[in-house]
Structure 1
Amino acid sequence: MTMSPGAESTAPEVVAAAPVSRVWLFCFALAWFGFWLLVMLPGQFMVVKLASVIDATNKVTVGSFLIGEMAGVIVIGVPIIGWLCDRTRSRFGRRRTWVLAGFLTATIPFAWVGHQTSVVSVAILLGIVAIGQSAVLVSLSALIADRVPVVQRGRASAAMGVPQVIALAAGMIIVTELIPDVGWSWMVIAVLALLAPLPFVFGFSEPPRPADAPVRSLGLRRGLRRLHGYRDFGWATLSRVLINAGNLVGTTYLLYFLADVLGLADPDGALLVLILVYLAACAVASWAGGILTDRWKARRMLVCVSAALQAAAALVLALLPSWESSLVAAVLLGFGYGLFLSVDQALLTDLLPDETTRARDLGIANSAQHLPIAPIIGWAVLAVSGYSQLYIVAAAVIMLGGVTVLRIRSVR
């Protein structure tokens, strides 16, 4: 296997990293579970539900604006916090400091979102929530590169991805069946999200901060070589952006699809059924994908397969809009996105060019992932057309992301 020039400097450190234990992976996954509660539930259900309560007439516009606002804050906040995280000096640990601060910043305002009655107050609170989410995303992502050796990164990526599935499934049951009241549902999710990361934050230390590289003038030739080290990392980031955007285009407006197109009497309950089917498939694929990508090291191929499955799911909804086809699409989407979750983070981590800027570089990749592409596409397409056209666009965006990953040359 060939390596990019920038990857050579990190190879010795990665090889020397001690394997992480199952307990470490479990607690790491628990921290991600708390994060995904704060991210997945608002994006998939809670924000659009709140928008329909605050302004039923303009629910698509309000929901798209709020989701887009959070994404915009994350796009700006993540690279800035990543730069600060790399330079943090703290006895508690530079990553753990930002993990804890991020969860506190996100969960406290999150608890009060559901009690608001105006778009302005909701937007203010969700903006603060997004800043906290940015800090958690940056610091937890960087810990994979800091602490986990290459041979375990597929499992670590699965420990990041599988909790996303569980958080959405458990959270949906809580907010639709156990605590359907809008105000209290936001508060309960906030409390659970704050408790989940505590075993990891206080139970494990982290590697020491690497020594600062000497400051030197790069020069034109040296600067171009350094930029070349980011080539494959850039293609992996673009692939992640497109696949996630296409997936969100297809899932964000699913509640409205069930109510307005299929005309189901209980769209909330139907959405819960679809999500549980989707998540069961997603959990199986994510767990299996983490093992397979560590064993085969075929990151690019698995990303392509995951994109094809997700695109197929979107096309099923576009061409055969029925309850039965929705169940088939949920299975396909679950297998595709679960496989993507277990491979994508491992792929990005393998391509990091510089060990001293891991949080910053992953921050840029993660912030790009949160560009408000999905709400913009959703608003634009639904303003002039229908849901069939929306899902065709989603399939096209996902497939473009699958093709993009083939531009990577330094890993399989």
Structure 2
Amino acid sequence: MVNNLQSNQNDSQISWKADISDSEQPKAPIMIGLATGIGALLWLGPFNGMNNLLNPAKLANIMGGAGGQVNNFLALLGTLGAVTSTITTIIIGALSDLTRSRWGRRTPWLIVGSILTAIVMVGLGLINSKSGLPFFIVLWCLLQTFINMIVAPLLAVIADRVAPMHRGLISSIYATGFVIGQYGGPVVGGTFLKTNNPGLVNVGYFVFAFLMLLSGPIAALMLKEKSSLKMPRMKMNWKRFMQYFIFPVHNTRNFYLALFGKMLINITTTTFATYQLFILTTDMGLRSSSAGKYISLMGTITMIAAILFSTISGPISDKMKTRKWPVAFAAFLIATGTLLPYLLHHPVVMLVYGVFAGIGSGIFFSVDQALNLEVLPNPANSAKDLGILNLANTGGQILGPVIGAILYGIVGHNYLPILPILTVIALVGAALVLSIKEAK
């Protein structure tokens, strides 16, 4: 459905469209896919490398070694970061939707967001003492805000400029960059941890800041977004505030089924990732060194499978003319992989989990983004509503460890008995996704 926003000014009958139809775009806009994929790679890779490796290493250097103090500080960063990101992605998305400029709605945010995020990353790299830890917290929350100036507009570009029949393909290109960034960022980050030199860790922050600085400008140059000055000027009143800054309330059945379905799937994968080390050591009897080797190999298997299937799943969903069935199938694969270690109790089965989770994640990342675009209640609010749908990710990251801790106490302080419950959670998520009504 194409929504037109009509200017209410008496002297103007100019119409402005917030999206594009199949008939207006017979050929797939590959350049838009490459722009979003490269943009995603250049923001997610540095973020994950810093978050997963550089932050723990820096904090251990500052606090005198790994331990409970570092873990507690990382948990605080994770909680504050998730809350900040959840709030700011909705606000920034809404402001992006309302932006009128000669460079379009999204480009100014991509450029400014990249610059500000890179500056904050440099600031984080310069903190090297306990007295700087309060500033570390403030900068981390600012980073979560500024990075959403890249994330929210970049996702909305697909809704703005890709016709529905091409969204599977373009989402696959985006997902490929996303997956490479997700798994490749920590690989690059690991190169700055090969010595005991704290200064090398700081260099990692500066290198990642430079890559982050490139994300928005490169995407913007490739997108060549047109002016949004023809978009009607809008006086903010309560009705428009509700439209642009509040959770949608009209035509939202599919929207909320997608949100909560995907959140349940993410809770399963996040909780499994949180406890994979303890499953291998406490429940399967491995030493930490051996468990680390299994986790590293499992991560490699997952990455390869995810990259492969993220590249092909979107176009297949275009041919199938459905998004919900591939996403539900991905959830089924993740659920199956989650159950296997409980049934077989052998470390090798964790590698089999990596295969199932990798294939499922590859399908999920690519087709899920296309599904997000097709459940939006109003294309004019795409960035804001995509920010709300991102709660499926942030909510899963917050709730996963909490639910895991509760289940751990309920099942008798063991980790393997949690897995059948996580399997059911993923299957319920798949059922919610399958309840979405797709247009024929």
Same fold (TM over 0.5): yes
Q: Does the 8 A contact of 1:258 with 1:267 survive in 2?
A: yes
Alignment of 1:63-212 (within 5 A): 63-113=74-124, 115-116=127-128, 118=130, 120-177=134-191, 179-180=193-194, 182-209=201-228, 211-212=231-232
Of 156-165 and 42-51, the range deviating more from structure 2: 42-51
Q: What is the 5 A alignment of 1:366-405?
A: 366-371=390-395, 372-381=398-407, 385-405=413-433
CA contact (8 A) 2:152 2:383 kept: yes
Q: Which moved more, 1:370-379 or 1:98-107?
A: 370-379
Match of residue 305 from structure 2 = 281
Q: 1:165 deviation in Å?
A: 1.9
Residue identity in the other structure for 1:293: S
Write out aligned runs for 1:313-392 (5 A).
313-320=337-344, 322-371=346-395, 372-381=398-407, 385-392=413-420
What SS does structure 2 have at the residue aligned with 1:198?
A: helix
Instruction: Flag the structure with more relative contact order, 1 or 2, with Cα contacts below 8 A and sequence separation at least 6.
Output: 1
Q: Specify every segment of 5 or more residues in structure 2 that has no aligned partner in the other structure, as ranges.
A: 5-16, 195-199, 240-247
Tell me the equivalent position of 1:36.
Answer: 44
Q: Which has the larger radius of gyration?
A: 2
User: What is the TM-score of this pair, normalised by structure 2?
Assistant: 0.80
Structure with higher helix content? 1
Q: Quote the Cα distance in structure 2 between the aligned partners of 1:398 and 1:63.
A: 27
Give the one of 289, 296, 305 matched to 2:329: 305
Displacement of 1:15: 2.7
Give the conservation status (yes or no) of the 8 Å contact 2:37–2:178: no
Alignment deviations for residues 369-411 of structure 1 (CA, whole Å, 9 cap, x no partner): 3122224334555678343245444433322211111221134
> What amino acid sits opposite 1:103 in the alignment?
S
The alpha-carbon deviation at position 244 of structure 1 amounts to 2.1
Change in 2 beyond 3 A, CA 1:184/1:246 = farther
Query: Within 1, Cα distance between the matches of 2:334 and 2:51?
Result: 18
Moved more, 326-335 or 388-397: 388-397
Tell me the distance in 2 between the aligned counterparts of 1:270 and 1:107.
34
Aligned twin of 1:272: 296
Secondary structure of the 1:313 match is helix
Deviations 1:168-194 (A, max 9, x none): 332232222464454433333332232
Specify every segment of 5 or more residues in structure 1 that has no aligned partner in the other structure, as ranges. 1-6, 219-225
Alignment CA distance shift 1:50-1:243 (3 Å): farther
TM-score when normalising by structure 1:
0.84
* AA in 1 matched with 2:426: I
In the superposition, relative to structure 1, how do residues 354 and 169 fare at CA in structure 2: closer, same or farther (>3 Å)?
A: closer
Matched residue SS, 1:211: coil
> Contact 2:113 / 2:148 at 8 angstroms: preserved in 1?
yes
Instruction: Provide the residue aligned with 1:27 in structure 2.
Output: 35
User: What RMSD in Å do the two structures reach over aligned CA positions?
Assistant: 3.2
Counterpart code for 2:371? L
